[in-house]
Structures are given as C-alpha cells and as structure tokens.
Structure 1
Amino acid sequence: MNQICSDLTWEQNTLDTLVSSLKPDDWAAVTLCDGWTVKDEICHLAYFDYTARLSAADPASFDQHLVEIQQKIKEMADFIEVSLAKGRAMVIEQLLQWWREERRKLIEALLRLDPHDRLSWYGPPMSASSFASARLMETWAHGQDIYDVLKKKRPVSPGLKHVAHLGVTTFGWSFSNRGMIVPDTPVFVTLTAPSGNLWTWGDETAVETITGSAEEFCLVVTQRRHVDDTALVCDGRTARQWMLNAQAFAGPPDNGPPAGTFR
C-alpha cells in the first residue's frame, strides 16, 4: 500500500498547491465537469475523501452513511447535490482545511490495510489497493478540470499508471453500464509512459489494438478528452467503440467533452 498511498498523496498535495494560490475569481471559474466551479471540484473531492475515510477506518459508520443516503436521495442528481452542499457552505480556507484533514486521515487508514482487504463503496466492494487507485483517479481527473479551465500545464503524475490500469480493467463496465453487450474481442493496449517506457495490457497477439500516449489514454477513460482530440490509434471496431464509451469511474453512463473541444 505504500506506493499507491505515496502516489495518491502526491496527487492531492500537488492539486492543493495549485488551488491554494488561486484568487477568488478563479475559484468561481466554471469547468467542463457538469458546469461545476473550481470550488465545486474541491467540494466533491473533499466529500468523497471523507466517505472513503469512513469506509477505510470505520466501516460501520460508512454502512450507516449508505443507509442515510438511500433514505435521503431518489436519483443521482440528488446525491451530487448532497455531496457538494457541505463544501459549498464553507469559505475557501475552511474547505481546504476540511479536505486536508480528511485526505490525511484517509491515507493513514489505507496504510494500515492489506492491499487485498475488501472495502465497501457505493458499488461493489473493492480491494484496498483498487480503492486507493480509484481515489487517485478521481483526484487526477477532477484536477484536470481545474488545470483546463485555468489554462495551466499540469506536472506529470507519478500515479498515471494506476489511472491507466483502471481504464483498462473497466473495459467491460464501459459497455455494460450503457446496456450494451460486452464484446468478446480482445484488445491489446500499448501506452507510452511519460518516461518513454512502454506499458502494456492484454494479449499481444490480439488483432485489435490501442496505442499512444498514456496520458491521453487516461484523459479519454476519465472522460476529460474525446478520443478524436487525441493521437491515440484505435485499430479495430471494438477498440474504437471502447474509447468512445470508456468510463473508468462508477455511476450512471456519462460523456466527456465532445470532439473538437480540445483539438
């Protein structure tokens, strides 16, 4: 757990450094994520670092939280509003302090776990290592929204491979979540890491392939870029369809920005 927690901490701290220096008008800038402001993005991360901390450190309290949420909301839009409400009511410094405290406690709780320990979440239970990877992916993706709206270049994440791995392992989910039949055609994925090394997944003899930048692959599977706004090469019908529907996170089917937004 040490490495994934170290990468997650780096991701959180780096984003904190960026937003801590923002002016009030910057916090009100509207991102491409559901019309959320920069402040909303941090509200979202703080809330789910809080509930993730409950799951990792106090499973009974998290189970009670699930019961209360199910009683309180009727659809996903209601849940989103609930998750943003606490942070929205805070001034910026209070919000940052809450986020810092919750993520610190989350990391402490995760470090006490075995990578194979199972943790409850809003969908199926996950291993502790996958749970931490999901928190890193969320931080990275929502951080991208903020870098985009501020038009700032983000530093290379040491945890990018965790995000890419989640993108690959959610192949089936990307189809089934939309009520589509999961293709049985294998796709071999070859990604170029920021270091220049190659990361691969799948059977290298597969006829269909996806090749390109690891960062661009992560942007597509987290729905921060349309595949046509990247240089990813999708060789095969299933490979192309996957990248058009890719969704590395839980929740109802969603879509990122349309083609041409970042071309």
Structure 2
Amino acid sequence: MAGMDEAVAELAAEHGDLDALLAGLADDQWFLPTPAEGWDIRDQVSHLADTNDICVDTITGGPRPLNEEALKFPNPEAFTQSGVDKGRAMTPAAVLDWWRTSAARNRDVLSQKDARDRVPWGLGMSAKMMATARMMETWAHAGDVRGALGMEPSASPRLQSIAFLTLRAVPYALSYAKVEQPAGTLRAELTYDGETWPIGPDDGDNLITGDALEFCRLGIRRVSRAQTNTLKAQGALAEAALDNLRAFL
C-alpha cells in the first residue's frame, strides 16, 4: 500500500501529540474557551471524537456514514453541533476516553485500506487522502486547544501533507465561495525550518510562496489572508486561491 503506511503514521503522530496535551489537563482546564466562538476544550475534543466515529462508519458501512448522517440535520452547523452536544453530557475523562477509542479505531480501519481505495466522504476521496484529512483536522482542533492554553500552534514536517491537501482542495474552495476559477495551473513553494517544499506541478503558471504554517492556518480558516505576513501570489488563480483557501468540507 504505497503511501498509505506513511499517511496513517502521520495521523498516529498527530493523535499522539494531542493525547500528550490532553493527558496533562486538570478537569477545570477542559472548560477553558478556545478561539472557536462558543467552544471550550471539551467541545473541540468531542467534535474530533464524533467525526472519528463517522469516518469509521463511512469506511466500514456502519450506522452513521457521513453522507447519510449529514442529511438528518438542517445545515452543516447543526450536524457539527450534534457531536459537541453529545460531549457536553459527558465528563472530561469520558470525553478523553471517547476520543482515544475513536482515534484508535480510525487508524485501524484506515490501515486496512489501500491508498487508492475510495471513501464516500463528501464528493469522495482516496483512503490516503482521508487519512491526511483526519490528520489535518486533528492538527486544526489541537491548535484551538493550544490557543486556549496560551500556546502557539504546533509546526512539524506533517505540514507538508496538510499543504498538499490544501492545494488540492483549491477547486472545491473556489466552488464553495462561488468564485469562478481563473485559468491556469497552480503550484506552491512553501518554507519550513530552512527548507522549501515544492507542491503541485513543476510547470504551474500560478505560484504561491510563503511560510508553510501560515499557508496551512489560512487553509483551516484560523487566520484571514490579511492576517498573514509571508504569503504571496503570482497570477490570478493564485490570488483567488489565497483569498478563498479552504482545506475542509
């Protein structure tokens, strides 16, 4: 399964980082407000646990696959809130156990898939991309937890996979924003720890450059383009991408 082992290993590493952060929390810290309005740390972890469960059911044919479960709610916000509300009826210890169990199941079912197997998540994606998407979401919400604790967002070489996913999602992001996609092909050259990561086709005629962490945080909508300092666009497609970047459904 070329590429699948690495994707699951990155997911496991991101889970491990979040677990280490959560394991040291006192009960009262679970109720600290996070940068997501109205959500505390318990809410963030509950959302991750619930979406882990939905991912497992989507892959295995369980009772709550995403494309069926989402239809039970009037809008995406209500769907997301349902998982948060489930956690609000639980103690912090129970939420942590829920998340740990769901994360382990998520890794297990993904590890049994071939990288190219299709997963009916939204419009559909490969199993490898699903593993990267779960890693990205874990990193995003772990960043919110870190924000509640007065910590900076984490940065690791796994940002390269998140950046790749984010660049791949540009057509979806523009469609979501109801923006017509300019002509051209898009590539990025992003910096991390003294390295430059080329992402996208070598002959791309539109270019995004800048810091990988900033690019990924823009993709998960934790900062606006106006709040970034290093990201530059060359070409109309690159400009539209940075204006509307979105790495998730």
| TM superposition score normalised by structure 2 | 0.90
1:32-52 C-alpha deviation (Å, 9 max, x unpaired): 224311111101100011111
Structure 2 residue aligned with 1:61 = 63
Equivalent position to 2:51, from 48, 52, 58: 48
Query: 1:199 maps to what in 2?
Result: 198
1:216 to 214, 217, 232: 214
Q: Matched residue of 1:192: which SS? A: strand
Partner in structure 1 of residue 111 of structure 2:
111
Report the equivalent of 1:163.
162
Structure 2 residue 140 is the aligned partner of structure 1 residue 138: no
Moved over 6 A (4+): none
Tell me if structure 2 keeps the 8 A contact 1:144–1:224. no
- Partners of 2:164 and 2:199 within 8 A in 1: no
Tell whether the 8 Å contact from 1:186 to 1:203 is kept in structure 2 after alignment: no
**Distance across 2 between alignment mates of 1:66 and 1:188:** 31
Q: Does 1:15 align with 2:13?
A: no
Shift of 1:9: 0.8
**What's the offset of the Cα at 1:24?**
3.3
Please say if residues 192 and 212 of structure 1, whose CA atoms lie closer than 8 Å, have aligned partners that are also in contact. yes
> Residues 228 and 68 of structure 1: is their aligned pair in 2 closer, same or farther, counting only changes over 3 Å?
closer
Provide closer, same or farther for how the CA distance between residues 150 and 184 of structure 1 changes in structure 2, counting only shifts above 3 A: same
Q: Percent identity among equivalent residues?
A: 30
How many aligned positions are there?
245
Structure 2 CA distance for aligned equivalents of residues 68 and 33 of structure 1: 23
- 1:2-57 CA-partner distances (Å, limit 9, x unpaired): 1111110110111111122123343222222243111111011000111111222x
Contact 2:160 2:197 in 1 (8 A): no
Distance 1:158 1:180 in 2: 31
Distance (whole Å) between structure 2 residues aligned to residue 179 and residue 197 of structure 1: 32
Say whether residues 1:229 and 2:227 are aligned partners.
yes
Letter in 1 for 2:163: A
**Long gaps (5+) in structure 1:** 251-263
Q: Secondary structure at the match of 1:131?
A: helix
Structure 2: distance between partners of 1:143 and 1:103: 14
Tell me the TM-score normalized by structure 1: 0.85
